[in-house]
Amino acid sequence: GVEHAVLHLLYSRFFTRALSEVGYLDLAEPFSGLMTQGMVCHQTYQDKDGKWLFPTEVIQDGDGWRHGETGKSVKAGRIEKMSKSKRNVVDPEIIIESYGADTARLFMLSDSPPERDMEWTESGVEGASRFLKRIYRMANDDSLPAKGTPPPTEGDGMELVRAAHKAIYGLSQDIEGFRFNRAVAQLHTLANAITETKGASPFIAAARRFAIETLVQLISPLAPHIAEEMWNALGHQTMLADSGWPTADESLIADNVIKIAVQVNGKLRDTITLPRDCPKQDAEDAALASPTIVRYLDKQVPKRVIVVPNRIINVVV
């Protein structure tokens, strides 16, 4: 837990600084920071005699629980951090045998930020497994164009290409910031964009291949084993682990249109969609033409309209 990690930090800092003081090390501070991860939690179970039971020993029976062997009623207790004393632990071998190591990794990373506690649930593990199977089917799509097909640079499929570059940028930032749950969310967003992209034109097909390859590359740090299988299914002979990390094209990350908040006397009243970097006069005209803003103005003539490009519009009356 947190206390355990902090004590290790104190011990290691003490020894490093002591060795530095006596001249054995030329290093005063061994760490730049500390992040303590949350605990993995699970519900607790007790039989009528108060004996703690493993989750694998109980079966849900309607709204209650019963012992898997004896059939006797079992009391479900609080959700607490996993501990051998209360037997609310899950054997990793069982999970790996049923779902694979990648599923377990992906679920633990996707459930919550690493510094918070997470609850281990069977439904969460199954959800991670379904997502990996979904991507696996994408990578094994026989209709994809050949390896090396370049993605389109304009026209059909460009929205999907943009989505892939946004995922590269967002997931890279999230991993560097230890925001692993948000990194997994980036994968889901890209997978949904691939699914929603319809059409059979060569440009869309090329965009789909590019997006699927990108998705496989991005998931490799989180689910490395199945990522290698998918990389091979996409026609690559070298290992994905030996390939470079994809680079986002900054020109494709920015949205062409953005949502702008419109305030009246400093209070948010509406949001409007405008082209990025549009002229201030166009932004002012669009804000004043909004039916919501017209209603709030109630025929009053604005004294001033303050436009902060790409961010906010404030109408002063």
CB-count exposure of residue 18 (10 Å: 0-12, 13-18, 19+) = exposed
Q: How confident is the model at residue 121 (pLDDT cuts 50, 70, 90)?
A: confident
Q: How confident is the model at residue 256 (pLDDT cuts 50, 70, 90)?
A: confident
Report whether 33 contacts 21 (CB < 8 A): no
Mean pLDDT of 120-130: 86
Pairwise CA distance, residues 191 & 169, whole Å = 15
* 216: nearest Cα among 269, 312, 144: 144
3-class secondary structure, 185: helix
Q: How confident is the model at residue 186 (pLDDT cuts 50, 70, 90)?
A: very high
Report whether 81 contacts 128 (CB < 8 A): no
* Sheet hosting strand 40-46, strand order edge to edge: 58-61, 64-67, 73-81, 40-46, 118-119
H helices present in the chain, as ranges = 2-21, 92-99, 101-110, 122-139, 158-176, 180-196, 202-219, 224-233, 250-253, 280-289, 291-297
Local structure of residue 254 (DSSP, 8 states): S
Report whether 109 contacts 184 (CB < 8 A): yes
Count of all residues that appear for the chain in the document: 317
**Region of residue 279 (phi > 0: left; psi between -120 and 50: alpha; otherwise: beta):** beta
Pairwise CA distance, residues 106 & 128, whole Å = 6
Q: How confident is the model at residue 92 (pLDDT cuts 50, 70, 90)?
A: confident
What are the chain's domains? Answer: 1-36 (no CATH), 38-89 (2.20.28), 119-253 (1.10.730.10), 257-316 (3.10.20.590)
Rg (CA), the chain: 27
pLDDT at 252 (0 to 100): 86
Q: What angle do CA 252, 253, 256 make, to 5 degrees?
A: 75
Q: How confident is the model at residue 270 (pLDDT cuts 50, 70, 90)?
A: very high
Pairwise CA distance, residues 81 & 40, whole Å = 6
| pLDDT, tens digit (0-9, with 9 covering 90-100), for 39-85 | 888 889 999 888 999 988 899 888 889 998 888 899 998 998 888 89
**Region of residue 52 (phi > 0: left; psi between -120 and 50: alpha; otherwise: beta):** beta
pTM for this entry: 0.72
